Amino acid sequence: MTLTPDPSKPDPSKLDPPKSEAGRGEPEKAGWLARKRARPGAGEAVKAEPAPPPPRKKRKTGITALFSGLMTAAVFLLVAVFAGVTLAHREFSEPGPLQTDKVVIIERGSTTEDIVETLTREGVVTRPSLLWAVLLWRDISSKFSSEGANRRAKSGEYLFRQSASMSEVVDVITSGRSIQHAITIPEGLTSEQIVERLMQNELLTGEIESIPAEGALLPDTYRINRGTSREALIARMASEQRRVLNEIWSRRAKDLPLRNPRELVTLASIVEKETGRADERPRVASVFYNRLEKKMRLQSDPTIIYGLVGGKGSLGRPISRADIDRPTAYNTYTIPALPPGPIANPGRAAMEATANPSRTRDLYFVADGTGGHAFAETLEQHNRNVARWRQIESMRAAIPAAPGLQPAPGMPAAASADDGATAPQVQGFSQPDRRPGQVTTPAPAGRPAGTPDPPAGRAAPQPN
């Protein structure tokens, strides 16, 4: 049977060839031609292909996300810290509120909070929180620094200048530069008298357990901070005495009749009590050395006083005949040599003079009425000097006493007897160049034959 094609249906042979699955037209060719598309024919509609969607961003997870968050927070934190530090530094350096210089005491044992409160209360700072933060930071950082002690605030008495900035305030209280006070210990005081002075000084603190040995302290001016302990100052004075004495002993004249440094201090203490004039000390020391070499008693009144009252220092009355004749370990009227120890604490100048005395043959000296002494090699010369002094005494005794009266020009000043000296007292007169603890009374006239050697520098009082 023969099939007749249906005229209404198109001839399959005349239809366009089927497109491939890949290109929907001609079969896809290999290589770069495979990606080439056939151009549409004339009048043929172009079918738009949809654009592929953009790739989705992958979300960070785990360690990456944590690190990213931390970095972001760190950046914000650094910016905030930088702004805060800049602002704080500006306030830290600005002039402070003080209108005048002010002294503030930071008590021993104060905490950081106590220090901030004290400085705020005294009007030194107006931003306590900023000061507290700075002090706390310095305190923490000091624990990791080799110079930790230099970074922490310290107790003490501080001077803050007018308009001192907070930076200057911190520098002052961490430097420890407290106000320095001067304490002067005069030459010629006994150790007991020195301890008494220190106990009366309100700048010092604490007790003194025991009185130091006589002659063990160096009289001088010492710079101290408020709150220094009395024991610490005593230890410092003793250390200075040892240092100075060793230096002086090493430079002493080699022919001195002294066996050790203690004997030097002993004789220097007698020289210290005999004269307050620096130019006379070497010559007074020479008199005592000459008497020692001739086996003569020193016969110095200050040794009588020390033998009677010890470290008290002052007898409170003139020396009597009974005092001179009373034997004690220190009475150089009765012992033929140096006393067993110092009778006071001599100064550096007296020790220097005793270690390097003048080269003289003097054996006597007597007050000359001017604050100094007249020296003599022989008893005859000495008697003339004593007679001259007696005339001066008579002139003073003839002048009526009057409060506030001063000697006329050329009239010598009277000696004082606050240490038990035997010189007569004239009310209203004073000796300007005389210091506490010094004795400048007249030496005696000659004694009858058979009596002890005449004293070197004192007038023997009349028997009671």
Cβ–Cβ < 8 Å for 227, 108? yes
**Is pLDDT above 70 for 169?**
yes
What was the pLDDT predicted at 15?
54
Average pLDDT over every residue of 379-390: 93
CA 219 to CA 242: how far, in whole Å? Answer: 12
Average pLDDT over every residue of 322-330: 95
Structure token pair of residue 213? 């040995």
Angle at 263 between CA 258 and CA 268, to 5 degrees: 105
Structure token pair of residue 315? 């007898």
Structure token pair of residue 121? 């209360």
Per-residue pLDDT tens for 80-123? Answer: 666 556 666 677 788 989 999 999 999 988 999 999 999 999 99
Please report the DSSP string for 163-187 in residue order: T--HHHHHHHHHHT-PPEEEEE--T
**Is pLDDT above 60 for 363?**
yes
- Is residue 144 very low, low, confident or very high in pLDDT (cuts 50, 70, 90)? confident
What was the pLDDT predicted at 54?
72
Q: Helix 128-142 to helix 166-175 angle, to the nearest 10 degrees?
A: 40
Average pLDDT over every residue of 400-426: 39
Average pLDDT over every residue of 285-298: 96
Cβ–Cβ < 8 Å for 397, 320? no
Structural domain spans, the chain:
89-175
Residue with token string 């130091």: 212
Q: What are phi and psi of 329, to 5 degrees?
A: -65, -20
**Is pLDDT above 70 for 460?**
no
**Is pLDDT above 80 for 44?**
no
Structure token pair of residue 245? 């004495």
Structure token pair of residue 7? 């005229």
CA 409 to CA 398: how far, in whole Å? Answer: 17
CA 296 to CA 454: how far, in whole Å? Answer: 9
CA 335 to CA 272: how far, in whole Å? Answer: 20
**Is pLDDT above 60 for 397?**
yes
CA 247 to CA 446: how far, in whole Å? Answer: 40
Cβ–Cβ < 8 Å for 116, 110? no
**Could you tell me the fold of the domain covering 89-175?**
Dna Ligase; domain 1 (3.30.1490)
Average pLDDT over every residue of 121-139: 90
Average pLDDT over every residue of 215-244: 96
Cβ–Cβ < 8 Å for 156, 227? yes
